[in-house]
Amino acid sequence: MISIWVVIVIILAAINAHAFKTKILISVRFKDIVRYFCRYTKESSYFRNFIWPWMDFLLISLLPMVIMLSRNVVIIVTFLKAKRVRKDRMQTSARDESAAITGMLIGVSVLFFVATTPSSIYFIGSNNRPPKTIIEAYRLNIAYSLVNIVYYFSNSLNVMVCCFSGSKFSQALVTVLCCRNPNSP
């Protein structure tokens, strides 16, 4: 288990290693206070404006979506096979929970993609040129705020998708929120 975390840390470090080449540390003195900021170098503007937004989209939105959908397909197929075997052995019709689980898995995956993609599109589109007027700067600021709200709001929507898709999750959530013992009636 520790080796998995080490691999993840190494991958994340490699993804963000560009910061050592594309950014510099500058100091700003105001009266007696010195502040330090990281800024992109002028030489890295092509990377910052054209390459990094696409890498960001790939790593934050598209790749996780592909991984989630492929894993969800495996879970759904395994679940349906187990249901078929259980139904054959019991010779009775088992309660159909596959539709709820399938809906929840696909719903969470699609919600993730729909919520993360606008943020990536914003960064791909807005980094190509600076705003020309103050109105355009305000509009970009509002757009940035809106895509961030959608991005973070999706986390709370995941809980609602899970609650609406199955009674077991809803019951477990109520148990946790009410601080009840899961074994008591």
Confidence of residue 137 (pLDDT cuts 50, 70, 90): confident
- Contact (CB, 8 A) for 128 and 66: no
Q: What is the mean pLDDT of residues 60-71?
A: 86
pTM: 0.64
Q: Look at 174 and 63; give whichever has higher pLDDT.
A: 63
- Residue 79 sits in the same domain as residue 18: no
- Residue 29 sits in the same domain as residue 88: no
Identify the bridge partners of residue 26 per DSSP, sorted by sequence position. 37
Q: Whose CA is closest to 75, among 53, 103, 55? A: 103
Full domain range(s) for residue 10: 1-40
| Domain membership flag for residue 184 | no
Taking the C-alpha atoms of residue 58 and residue 67, their distance in angstroms, rounded to an integer, is 12
- Residue 85 sits in the same domain as residue 132: yes
- Residue 87 sits in the same domain as residue 163: yes
Confidence of residue 83 (pLDDT cuts 50, 70, 90): confident
- Residue 81 sits in the same domain as residue 25: no
Domain count, the chain: 2
- Residue 88 sits in the same domain as residue 157: yes
Q: Whose CA is closest to 123, among 20, 40, 50, 66? A: 50
* Integer-rounded Cα radius of gyration of the chain: 24
- Residue 52 sits in the same domain as residue 21: no
Q: What is the mean pLDDT of residues 50-63?
A: 86
Taking the C-alpha atoms of residue 144 and residue 134, their distance in angstroms, rounded to an integer, is 15
- Residue 136 sits in the same domain as residue 91: yes
- Residue 136 sits in the same domain as residue 53: yes
- Contact (CB, 8 A) for 106 and 72: yes
Identify the bridge partners of residue 27 per DSSP, sorted by sequence position. 36
Per residue in 16-48, pLDDT (tens digit) is 888 888 888 888 888 888 888 888 888 888 888
Least confident of 93-102, 122-131, 144-153: 93-102
- Residue 138 sits in the same domain as residue 81: yes
CA 104 remoteness from chain centre: 16
- Residue 36 sits in the same domain as residue 51: no
